């Protein structure tokens, strides 16, 4: 349905360090880089991270979050570890979420700007 998503951040350098680390275990890398804009994806940019004068305020009650497809449960674990080491905060340890489905394995973090992120693997291991 979507070709790409764009989010606004206060500090592009801080976002670069966070997203470089958090997305690498999922097989995504920085494919585009300029002083005010970063593009991440596998074969093409699917997530743009842009400098913004007024980024969307962090709001847990908004329901807004972004879920990244992970190739394995180990990648979900590595995403969570890398995101926390790069300045993110925990929003749900890696593990099965039986209430979402029998093979729903996910981890949740909050990036330095307050965006809620999830890495998900639905394949059995």
What average pLDDT does the structure give for the chain? 96
Q: How far apart are CA 125 and CA 116, in angstroms?
A: 26
Q: What is the mean pLDDT of residues 24-38?
A: 98
* pTM, 2 dp: 0.95
Q: How far apart are CA 40 and CA 17, in angstroms?
A: 12
Identify the pLDDT of residue 125: 79
Identify the pLDDT of residue 58: 87
Q: Model confidence over 48-95: pLDDT tens digits?
A: 999 999 998 888 899 999 999 999 999 999 999 999 999 999 999 999
Architecture of domain 5-53+64-121: Roll (3.10)
């Amino acid at each position: 349905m979507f070709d790409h998503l764009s989010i606004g951040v206060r500090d592009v350098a801080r976002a670069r360090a966070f997203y470089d680390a958090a997305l690498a275990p999922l097989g995504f890398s920085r494919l585009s880089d300029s002083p005010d804009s970063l593009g991440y994806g596998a074969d093409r940019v699917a997530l743009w991270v842009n400098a913004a004068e007024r980024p969307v305020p962090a709001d847990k009650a908004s329901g807004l979050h972004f879920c990244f497809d992970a190739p394995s449960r180990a990648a979900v674990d590595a995403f969570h570890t890398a995101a926390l080491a790069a300045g993110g905060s925990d929003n749900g340890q890696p593990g099965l979420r039986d209430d979402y489905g029998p093979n729903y394995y996910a981890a949740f973090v909050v990036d330095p700007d307050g965006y809620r992120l999830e890495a998900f693997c639905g394949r059995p291991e």
